[in-house]
Structure 1
Amino acid sequence: ASMDDNDELDKIAKSLPSPKTLGDFKLTPVEFEKDDDSNFHIDFITAASNLRAENYKIATADRHKTKFIAGKIIPAIATTTALVTGLVVLELYKIIDGKDDIEQYKNGFVNLALPFFGFSEPIASPKGKYQGKNGEVVIDKLWDRFDTEDVTLEQFLKNFADKGLEITMISSGVSLLYASFYPAAKNKDRLPLKLSELVETISKKPIPEHQKNVIFEITAEDTTEEDVEIPFVQLKMRK
């Protein structure tokens, strides 16, 4: 049987193409995404790992167990979950009660194994401001953001101009979508494109079907022509 196996291995090895014929091939890394069933990442990992498991007489794993391991999903203990939920609800009561004094709220630190229970007062999130058309606008740097529909780039720029903000640069991921220092002809070609089309055109790849939103980082000047730090912009994808 071992001879048969060796013969079969030699046959497979000889059937492989010569390395010289693979010179034009290029490997492209794929970003692992466990929650998108259409990309077959979990299916591939399940099949490949089970083939190896059978060779080494290791117990095989089903698709759900593969997703659990490959996705580094950490199981939650029911007692801890119940405790954390209770602490969250206590803070929710304070919000419903209309408490606006940050000292009334608490951060909780818990370790049931020790056991240890500690509480501290939260730190207020940093604030920013800019001069809009109707005066000073205060923004929360941690929690505030702008939401937008899938409008054209031209309309997007106008919407912010109406807020008193002149956008000088727009980026999404590693793609620079718009810049005031670009040649006028280059920006003119992009103005009629919807934001989703702009992202796909510049990045040269489609927005994944499972992606629920696209994040834009922008730099802008306010009505005083000062550069201001403003929150990101979120485009919700409608499938």
Structure 2
Amino acid sequence: LDHIAKVASSIKVPEFVPKTNVKVQINDNDPPPANEDNDEEDLTKLSASLPAPSSLAGFRLVPVEFEKDDDTNHHIDFITAASNLRAMNYGIEPADRHKTKQIAGKIIPAIATTTALVTGLVCLELYKVIDGKKDLEKYKNGFVNLALPFFGFSDPIAAPKKKLGESSWTLWDRFEFRGDPTLAEMVDWFKKNHNLDVNMVSQGVVMLWSPFVGKVKTQERMKLPISKLVELIGKKPIAPGTTHLVVETLLCDEEGEDVDVPYSLVYM
């Protein structure tokens, strides 16, 4: 203790001098003081280091094609530096060069030998499709693990069939409507050909019609072609070049029971 007291007595504490440029909030009712610590001086230096606009007359930026595997073009280096600067601004953990290359190049880790094998098996099945083979047993599912190694093949499972009156359908089937029919024509078609009542018609996230929209709106919408109805309710034009729309219908039978049906393709 004597030694500690001796050392403590020899320490000279500098006199406290408050900073003159610091503002302190005295009570809770006062507005918080503005932050005087800014980088104005640094920004001024950076601004002064930029070339004069007059020296850039005729300067033209030429886009380059991104190539992740050529280290001499420094594309990955630039992306790594720029993205990490952006990340630090928002408190995001920076990524190293390899991680950046994986993200920017959308790389899915794979071994070349496995990729080649899978590609070959897929092409083999495509030959069968092109040859017009209809027998499901002619096609094969492949299960491969080169580490074991293991090669297994099995017959694919047929798509489940659902009943629709006297016929059946799978997820590959569609109702096709040509000539951009009106909503009323589509409703009448289901009633005439399948004796089903339409309870709702939708396209994507847009509900085109349902009984609860009211009598007036029902009368207005029934007269419109499906494409015009999609634009009206969706409040945006159909993208140029669109040849058809995928429309979903909710149907029920005479007893009011819901009936599963395929999607409808409406060709414009």
Which TM class, normalised by the smaller chain length? Answer: 0.5 to 0.7
Confirm or deny that 1:143 pairs with 2:172.
yes
Q: What residue in structure 2 maps to residue 41 of structure 1?
A: none
Q: Which runs of 5+ in 1 are unaligned?
A: 11-48, 57-67
Q: How many residue pairs are counted as aligned between the two chains?
A: 183
Confirm or deny that 1:105 pairs with 2:105.
no
Q: Among 170, 188, 206, which residue is 1:158 paired with?
A: 188
How far residue 138 of structure 1 moved from its aligned partner, in angstroms, is 0.7
> Is the contact between residue 130 and residue 222 of structure 1 (CA under 8 Å) also seen in structure 2?
no
Q: What residue in structure 2 maps to residue 173 of structure 1?
A: 204
The whole-number CA distance in structure 2 between the counterparts of 1:210 and 1:72 is 29
Confirm or deny that 1:6 pairs with 2:36.
no
How far residue 72 of structure 1 moved from its aligned partner, in angstroms, is 4.0
Matches within 5 A, 1:110-125: 110-112=144-146, 115-125=149-159
Q: Name the SS for the 1:218 alignment partner.
A: strand
Q: What residue in structure 2 maps to residue 126 of structure 1?
A: 160
By relative contact order (CA 8 Å, sep 6+), the higher-ranking structure is 1
Confirm or deny that 1:234 pairs with 2:268.
no
Q: Name the SS for the 2:189 alignment partner.
A: helix
Matches within 5 A, 1:22-101: 53=82, 72=106, 74=108, 80=114, 82-92=116-126, 96=131, 98=133, 100=135
Quick one: which amino acid aligns to residue 108 of structure 1?
G
The whole-number CA distance in structure 2 between the counterparts of 1:148 and 1:185 is 26
How far residue 55 of structure 1 moved from its aligned partner, in angstroms, is 9.8
Quick one: which amino acid aligns to residue 175 of structure 1?
V
How far residue 128 of structure 1 moved from its aligned partner, in angstroms, is 0.9
Task: Go from structure 1 to structure 2 and tell me whether the alpha carbon gap of 1:161 and 1:54 turns closer, same or farther (over 3 Å shift).
Answer: closer
The whole-number CA distance in structure 1 between the counterparts of 2:236 and 2:244 is 15
Root mean square deviation, CA, Å: 4.1
Task: Go from structure 1 to structure 2 and tell me whether the alpha carbon gap of 1:193 and 1:5 turns closer, same or farther (over 3 Å shift).
Answer: farther
Q: Deviations over 1:160-207 (max 9, x none)?
A: 233213222111222211113432221110112221211121122223
Q: Name the SS for the 1:163 alignment partner.
A: helix
Q: What residue in structure 2 maps to residue 201 of structure 1?
A: 232
The whole-number CA distance in structure 1 between the counterparts of 2:115 and 2:242 is 28
Q: Provide TM-score, normalisation by structure 2.
A: 0.52
Task: Go from structure 1 to structure 2 and tell me whether the alpha carbon gap of 1:8 and 1:203 turns closer, same or farther (over 3 Å shift).
Answer: farther
Quick one: which amino acid aligns to residue 215 of structure 2?
A
Task: Go from structure 1 to structure 2 and tell me whether the alpha carbon gap of 1:147 and 1:121 turns closer, same or farther (over 3 Å shift).
Answer: same
Q: Provide TM-score, normalisation by structure 1.
A: 0.58
